[in-house]
Amino acid sequence: MSVYKRLSDVFASAEVIPFDNNSNIVLMSDCHRGDGNWNDNFSNNQNLFFAALNYYYERNFIYIELGDGDELWENRNMKQIINMHSDVFWLMSKFYYECRLYMIYGNHDIVKKNKQFTICKMDFYDEVKRKKSPLFPDIVIYEGLILQHKLTGDKIFLTHGHQGDFLNETVWGVARFLSRYLWRPLELIGFKDPTRAATNYTKKEKAENKFIKWSIQEKQILITGHTHRPVFPKPGEHLYFNDGSCIHPRCITAIEIKQGTISLVKWALDTKKDRTLFVGRQMLEGPELLKDYFKM
Ligand SMILES: [Mn+2]
């Protein structure tokens, strides 16, 4: 099925979350949280991610994870991933219990669309209470979500962005098999998986062009992850945004929607004059007024 048709289908059946100019929403994706092994690409950025998420927690943001949050192609064991990154899961769980967490699945965590998987595999051992607690009880993990403005009715469509990609969607079992048994061992000795959208530039551009075309023809803001390459159009260009990833070698990127604006930010280690290190947040693009895109 074509990318266009798949996006339209997901859009048509997506759950709606109302928002307004007082809402604070942060979008991050492609964390690919792993089991802590040295091909766990998230491990490098775990502190950046935790600091960023804490910042958003304190400022009353809603966190929407746009897919590929966990690396479940290379790893089959969700519990090991939760154990390895327990601080992150603990904080995400706090967001969830305050109704401030939404999750979308991608291709690498497509198994989360199976409700049974989500419920039984996502609990953790609470060392204080000495018992197992569910991290996200009864969570529904979506393929797509729509943020709809309470006053104007304008919509922002959110999905991971693997839709219509033959290898990553239709025969994802084959792709996962290759990833788990061929690319993972090869990665351990220094090779990179050439089929991934995230590492293949021609593939990235092709995917981006399809998303841009959909956003223009449907006159609809579309935000995805998946390619690991941030996209932030100026008002008047097109309506396709990408939040980047959390596994860039030196930073993580996020899209913030707050007080009726949208911006692209980067979190990275920085140094002060006295050479102490700190986690800094830097605005890469924006803030732009959302209404300037809506009226296109
Ligand atoms: Mn992906």
Q: Splitting the chain (296 residues) into consecutive groups of 10 residues, what average pLDDT does each group show?
A: 92 97 97 88 94 98 97 86 93 96 94 77 78 88 97 96 78 70 67 60 87 96 96 96 95 97 97 96 97 87
Q: How far is the CA of 201 from the centre of ligand 1 (A)?
A: 14
Cα 36 to Cα 220: distance, rounded to the nearest angstrom = 39
Ligand 1 centroid to 245 CA: how many Å? 10
Cα 102–Cα 242–Cα 290 angle in degrees, nearest 5: 80
pLDDT of residue 77: 85
What is d(CA 177, CA 175) in angstroms, rounded to the nearest whole number? 5
Q: Please give the pLDDT value at position 133.
A: 83
CA dihedral defined by 183, 227, 55, 15, rounded to 10 degrees? Answer: -110
Contact between 78 and 136 (Cβ < 8 Å): no
The CA 246 to ligand 1 mean position distance, Å, reads 12
CA Rg value for the chain: 18
- Give the model's pLDDT for residue 79: 87
Ligand 1: centre distance to CA 148 (Å): 25
pLDDT of residue 192: 59
CA–CA separation, 25 and 105 (whole Å):
18
Which residue stretches of the chain are H helix? Answer: 3-13, 46-58, 78-84, 86-97, 115-121, 172-178, 184-188, 201-217, 290-294
Residue that is written with structure tokens 């006053």 in the block: 151
Alpha carbon of residue 52 to chain centroid? 14
Cα distance between residue 43 and residue 27, in whole Å: 20
Looking at residue 114, what is its pLDDT? Answer: 84
State in Å: Cα 164 to ligand 1 middle.
Answer: 12
Are 70 and 105 within 8 A, CB to CB? no
Is the CB of residue 217 less than 8 Å from the CB of residue 11?
no
Cβ-based neighbour number of residue 38 at 10 Å: 9
Separation of CA 275 and ligand 1 centre (Å)? 37
Q: Is the peptide bond before 287 cis (omega within 30 degrees of 0)?
A: yes
CA–centroid distance, residue 172 to ligand 1 (Å): 11
Strands (E), 98-150: 101-104, 123-126, 131-134, 141-142, 144-149
Cα(188)–Cα(190) distance, rounded to whole angstroms?
6
Q: Letter for the amino acid at 19?
A: F
The CA 131 to ligand 1 mean position distance, Å, reads 34
